[in-house]
Amino acid sequence: MQWLAILSTLAGIYVLSSVWTLIKHFLAARQSGFPAYICPTNPANPLWMITQVLLRPVFAKLLPHAAFERVNVTIYGWEFHGRYATHAKYGSAFMYATLGTTELWVADEEIANTILARRNDFVMPEIVGRE
């Protein structure tokens, strides 16, 4: 019985820390001034990376359309499947808060050039700079 209490406590701590992280990322995204959206997945999770593309058709059938649209943006290749439809709905630039990171998605050339010119203001993840 003690194991059940310990496991449920650990699960509760994990859920609370995940919710806290998601809230922090969402508040940071809202402070940016871009439209901010939230998705409770972590695109950097190895299990998610392996299964997401294979499960895209399953998610499209099982999830409600509004929920699938939010999860779809965290699936690799979403920009090729939906083309400009996501940006037409959410705007030419939007922030996406997930459990792992806060991401900025841009479809406007002028905004993209400004971001690339201001390297100190828009810090890229360490893995992007590796050779």
Tell me the pLDDT band of 74, cut-offs 50, 70 and 90.
confident
First to last CA, the chain: 52
128 has a pLDDT exceeding 70: no
User: What type of residue sits at position 100?
Assistant: G
Phi and psi of 102, rounded to 5°?
-115, 120
76 has a pLDDT exceeding 70: yes
* Per-residue pLDDT tens over the stretch 62-73: 989 888 887 888
129 has a pLDDT exceeding 70: no
85 has a pLDDT exceeding 80: no
What tokens were used for 71?
């999860």
* Per-residue pLDDT tens over the stretch 7-34: 889 999 988 988 898 899 899 888 888 8
Sheet architecture: strand order including 36-38: 36-38, 93-97, 102-106
Tell me the pLDDT band of 131, cut-offs 50, 70 and 90.
low
82-102 mean pLDDT: 79
Alpha-carbon separation of residue 113 from 96, 106, 108, 110, 127 (angstroms): 20, 10, 9, 5, 21
